[in-house]
Structure 1
């Protein structure tokens, strides 16, 4: 075992200089694996200054923002900087038609003016440790995958309890390398987080869906929040008595700007990559899963846009949902193109062919001989199911009433089965649940989205449909508009009042006969279905995938030696790096964009490229002050070749001294396949230049008091 680990470490160390900036790395492994390579590229920090358990370090300024993005602490008073699109839902929630902060921007003039959305939290990373030996000691090769997972889950519960300090910390044990290694992570969550500032949507979302995943880019994608704590600096529920968090460490902010080949390091919580995915899995996504996702997303977007354009209140309700669907719609479409053009399936098949030869050598055959066969068999059996699952995902993500009846109906079943005393205790909680569930929706939009999604599922799926969908589709030639209109009229779940009334007059027969609940139950049951005929192939696949990853690492056949992203804190490093010259970009070098280029895209009254008159006037004045670049321009966005993915949105980009130079917010469409492969030539991260952020706060918004909170550094170069 020790010999194998040593071989892997030596391989990684020798390989790191070849792959340079590929990989999303654990902070605790920096010294062992990457530090020397990073120093050669320009890093001036020690490993201890990046990750330390006992002393303040860079990791103390990095937080996970509301579970899906990354943010950084930029002042000693808990000021949090993240992307505009990460704060989007909170900003929308705090907006009204009269005070539309999403549209017009918002800058709190004092602590008292900072605004608390209902549900928002940041998560600080405390420490991590390797528990692979302990976890793997609980399993053996004779176990089925279900038995294996049950044994692992039992040990996970013990480890999490041991390290939570009676609930003070959130502890998460995660598997890596497809279940071949395990680490636990300790976090501290703060739930009182308030909005401090946001630019208008015309700045924070400039370019909209058209520019999403595109370069040149001119988006001021940032927003500011603040973490509050009790008087002792501990996490606390919202209270007017809470005070700004005294930060353990905050990032200094550099206004020296960037140039080609400058070192750039990004820390954050990348959500999910699939770099180890087998060839057949990539092929399934390209030919079955992603096309269904793209088609379903576009259908929902078209329906939503129709109602959003007609009514500003509806636009506010659905702005965040629409943006999320649109982002993944473009992502999945780009993934299909990129993975096809990169011939990813063919390349992975070549590696797997080499692996299969290695696996069937006498010394390896017993453990690895059937791995490739089992994997390919599983994907062949699940291609059509994957297609249907993605049509269902599109429906469940975009249709409130595909899911809501199931959720509330499940609670109602519990209510029906309770005695009088239990009901008395349950009722106020259910009332609160219902009140929260029926906020911000527009019934005509919801009805049409569901009808169109049902029609798409019924007409395009080649897998066994939910019974109701098959029955209605056959009867009405896959036109579900009359059906959805009828069940929306008849169901108790289409209104808050109908759901609340059930608590006063609970009736089991009425619940079981509700037509919208029946549909919702069937949709969720179908999505979660695990057919018996796939039970053994699934077991064999899960075991074989784990062995494939283990064998690829053991044999040295894979160029990938880092774990897939899984929403745990990672570091990626690279350089400021231009793309080939592009006539659409007026900048001196195609590694940044300018205010001039932004104005050139301006389209009056266009939802994506409109600008406030104040912005146009600011360009004419060209009062950039200390935020101008060396050419007297105002830089907007810049490029690095870091390896990131979803979840890195809002991640700080720091220079070799650990000083903040920008915020990561997007990637370029040429490298859209980045979740599966890393393209060392084309992969780029698009970042907001911190000087543009500061100019917007200081010069444009006149909120200099916020800039004054920051630790600004200059003259470092």
Structure 2
């Protein structure tokens, strides 16, 4: 570890650190970032941010259900995250008659809190560097497959050594494309209950129209509580469980923000690709992302058609639609931003310079062919990337497209077993059936499959589509409407009821010829297929990509000193920072928005811009209580220049004292290329002002007992 730290420290002498760029490991904060952060306004020690032996900020930040971030805001395990992070749990707990997603929910006390079927939070315990240990087990003569096998064996040993007999979850992750490795120790709590959520008209105000946009006026938050057994240990749900007493929780500041205030964000950013080669960017912009966008929109259109007609269907598909829509707009934003920024051109210039260095006599053997190999890989996989994205969106948006193959093959395996083994497997089989047909509406699923198959055969055929689907397309002149209608009418897998009927009178030999299974199995086989040429290409690419990153770091041609995001805990720091003046924003400075601006967007009855009558009344009366800014307005959202990405949703935004000032929930579309290249001029994080959160809970919802549970700093 000393060598790694020394290397990073030396690099800092060569390259100035941009205070607003970087997703940093907490274990390196003291050596790499603390002095910078102090100059900007941090008043905490590095030990108060990350400590193994004492409570610190890291103990108040959790990964929420594997995909978002959340923070602990009371000594009784109260959790704050985004509304869109809690969306699935809220929808699951709702019914058409008692629709918490639409109308909101606030538990009057702890006994009224609601338990979703499956929801967990993950606490970060510690991390350490195991690069030397793992890399000592491999050599340059190994293929990537051989290398990965050896690495996975060593990872398994490290995870076992550190899980304390199953008490902890341990994850060893590669960084810098496999040039470094670190292990992370976590503790998971699975009894997490809904405490409160604003109505959808507040929590999702602006809908898809405002998503990724500024100025923004969204109350994007929800609240949960972590429960443990009487000794504070993780436990399955039980009425005997008690609220968790956390090691640390965040105090909440009412002081507000102003331009150039220090802002620090801790969270679990999902994925960045800042080392991606120029030809990889070109492939994404021209082949992969356009297919993703079109496929996602096709699925969304079919979902919305039925969701608009039926409140129950809307609840069933609310989370799936929201997730699909979010990435649909994200990918289009990526196309536009990467194109406008000329990112591929910038990367090409860097790679050209690197190639000169790589082909010097003392570098050529190791680095000489790296760029050529990478470019060859992308050139030969452009059409595949387009095909795979169309097919992936088909499989993601249609349960008939993906789940039928999984269920059908599980049934085939089940009926091959003897009676004793079947008895053992039956609970798992029933659980799979329940999973497939939960949040399932057959007419909608049928229309998604038709639309996606028609799109797939018309747009992905240049690469070569799934063979059975290609044959069916030819027989049906490219229109799957009639075939799918007939298939659903005859299929074992058309509905949960038809599958259960099959179980009662099984004829396993019929599965292989079932019309929905035939399509689904063909599609799944296609997405999994890998030719010998593809295997060689991927091996050579993986090696070259890893070596390229090593060379860029060795040559100091790339100044990035933080690893790409990969859902591990990171810290980013920056300032409250405005965008250029915008006439759409009524605020004096374009770094915050107000309730006045939100009400100006209000459209009665509109699915995206409606507002509750009570909120409008409170605004008219200027009944903002202690949560108003000192200038009299009610703040809603604000901007910082922190470096975040997906997965940071719900992350705490902290001032220099470690007090909660906001909740991160989005980025701005102008800087959507940020996952690939950081734009120090345009990149912003859109945050929910904590004062608006508290106002909604207290004044709007009348749930002051929840605010009283927090430590408020005035």
Q: Common fold, TM-score beyond 0.5? A: yes
Give matches, 1:275-290, under 5 Å. 275-290=274-289
Alignment of 1:5-404 (within 5 A): 6-17=6-17, 19-404=18-403
Shift of 1:413: 2.3
Q: Distance in 1 between matches of 2:367 and 2:608?
A: 53
Q: What's 2:563 paired with?
A: 563
Contact 1:16 1:33 (C-alpha < 8 Å) held by counterparts: no
Taking a change above 3 Å as real, the CA distance of residues 688 and 420 of structure 1, as seen in their structure-2 partners, is same
Q: Distance in 2 between matches of 1:14 and 1:626?
A: 48
**1 CA distance for matches of 2:608 and 2:282?**
34
Deviation at 1:311, TM superposition (A): 1.2
The answer to whether the 8 Å contact 1:293/1:391 transfers is yes
- 1-side partners of 2:309 and 2:504: how far apart? 37
Q: In structure 2, what is the Cα distance between the partners aligned to 1:472 and 1:146? A: 37
Matches within 5 A, 1:536-575: 536-575=536-575
Which structure 1 segments of 5+ residues have no match? none
CA-atom RMSD, angstroms?
1.2
Q: Could you tell me whether the CA contact under 8 Å between 2:399 and 2:436 is conserved in 1?
A: no
Equivalent residues of 1:13, 1:33 under 8 A apart: no
Normalising to structure 2: TM-score of the pair? 0.98
Q: Which residue of 2 aligns with 1:634?
A: 634
Local SS of the residue matching 2:662: strand
Whether contact under 8 Å (1:586, 1:594) holds in the other structure is yes
Tell me which residue corresponds to 1:587: 587
- TM-superposed CA distance for 1:477, in Å, is 2.3
**In 2: Cα distance, 1:208 partner to 1:688 partner:** 15
CA displacement 1:105-124 (0-9 Å, x = unmatched): 00000111000000000000
1:552, CA displacement in angstroms? 0.4
Residues in 2 aligned to 1:288 and 1:105: alpha-carbon distance in whole angstroms: 41
1:564-590 alpha-carbon deviations (Å, 9 max, x no partner): 000000000000000011111111110
Q: Give the 3 Å change call, closer, same or farther, for CA 174–335 of structure 1 in structure 2.
A: same
Question: 1:393: Cα distance to partner?
Answer: 1.4
Render the CA deviation track for 1:615-643: whole Å, top value 9, x for unaligned. 11011111111111121000000000000
Shift in Å at residue 473 of structure 1? 1.5
Residue in structure 2 matched with residue 707 of structure 1 by the alignment? 707
The DSSP-based 3-state class of the residue aligned with 1:184 is: strand
Is the CA contact 1:264–1:640 (under 8 Å) kept in the aligned structure 2?
yes
* CA deviation after TM superposition for structure 1 residue 417, in Å: 2.0
Measured after TM superposition, the shift of residue 502 of structure 1 is: 3.4
- Using the alignment, how far apart are the partners of 1:446 and 1:624 within structure 2? 46
SS at match of 2:587: coil
Q: CA deviation at 1:414?
A: 2.3
Alignment match, 2:681: 681
2:607 is paired with a residue whose SS is coil
Aligned partner of 2:607 in structure 1 is 607
**Is 1:272–1:565's contact at 8 Å kept on the other side of the alignment?**
yes
1:168-198 C-alpha deviation (Å, 9 max, x unpaired): 1000000000000000000000000000000
Q: Distance in 2 between matches of 1:343 and 1:280?
A: 13
Q: What's the counterpart of residue 409 of structure 1?
A: 408
The TM-score, its normalising length taken from structure 1, stands at 0.98
What CA distance in whole angstroms lies between the structure 2 residues aligned with 1:400 and 1:368? 45
Q: CA deviation at 1:519?
A: 1.2
Give the total of aligned pairs.
713
User: Structure 1 residues 363, 232: CA separation in 2 closer, same or farther (over 3 Å shift)?
Assistant: same
Preserved contact between residue 177 and residue 563 of structure 1 (Cα < 8 Å)? yes
Q: In the aligned structure 1, how far is the partner of 2:644 from the partner of 2:257?
A: 19
Which residue of 1 is the match for residue 447 of structure 2? Answer: 448
Residue 673 of structure 2 corresponds to residue 667 of structure 1? no
1:678 alignment partner, SS class: coil
Q: Distance in 1 between matches of 2:356 and 2:126?
A: 41
Residue number in structure 2 paired with 1:510 = 510
Q: Pick which of 120-129 and 1-10 moved more.
A: 1-10
Question: In the aligned structure 1, how far is the partner of 2:431 from the partner of 2:130?
Answer: 41
Tell me how far 1:535 sits from its aligned partner: 1.7
Tell me, yes or no, if the aligned pair for 1:431 and 1:500 is still in contact at 8 Å.
Answer: no
Contact 1:16/1:34 (<8 A) preserved: no
CA contact (8 A) 2:269 2:570 kept: yes
Distance 1:411 1:166 in 2: 32
